[in-house]
Amino acid sequence: MAPKRKAPLKRKLAEEFPPGEVLVDTAKKQWKLGTPIGKGGFGLLYLADENSSKPVSNNAPYVVKVEPSDNGPLFSELKFYMRAAKPELIQKWITSQKLKYLGVPKYWGSGLHEKNGNSYRFMVMDRFGSDLQKIFESNGKRFSHKTVLQLGLRLLDILEYIHEHEYVHGDIKASNLLLSHKNTNQVYLVDYGLAYRYCPEGIHKEYKEDPKRCHDGTIELTSIDAHKGVAPSRRGDLEILGYCMMQWLCGSLPWEDKLTDPNYVRDSKIRYRDNISSLMTKCFSGKDAPEIAKYLEYVKAMGYTEKPQYKKLREIFLDGLKSIGAKDDDKLDLSILENGSLTAVGEHKKKAAGRSKKTTEPRSSGGEKSPKKKAGLSNPVHSRKQEVEERAAHSSSDLPKRKRMKK
Active-site residue set: 171
Q: Count CB atoms within 10 A of the CB of residue 333.
A: 15
Q: What are the residues whose beta carbons fall under 8 Å from the beta carbon of 218, sequence distance 6 or more?
A: 171, 173, 372, 373
**Burial (CB count <10 Å: 0-12, 13-18, 19+), residue 135:** buried
What does 4-16 look like in DSSP terms, one character per residue? Answer: PPPPPPPPPPPPP
Length of the chain (residues): 407
Q: Over the range 219-258, which residues count as b (16 or more CB within 10 Å of their CB) and which as e?
A: bbbbbbbbbbbbbbbbbbbbbbbbbbbbbbbbeebbbeee
> Which residue type is seen at 279?
L
Do 135 and 335 touch, CB atoms closer than 8 A? yes
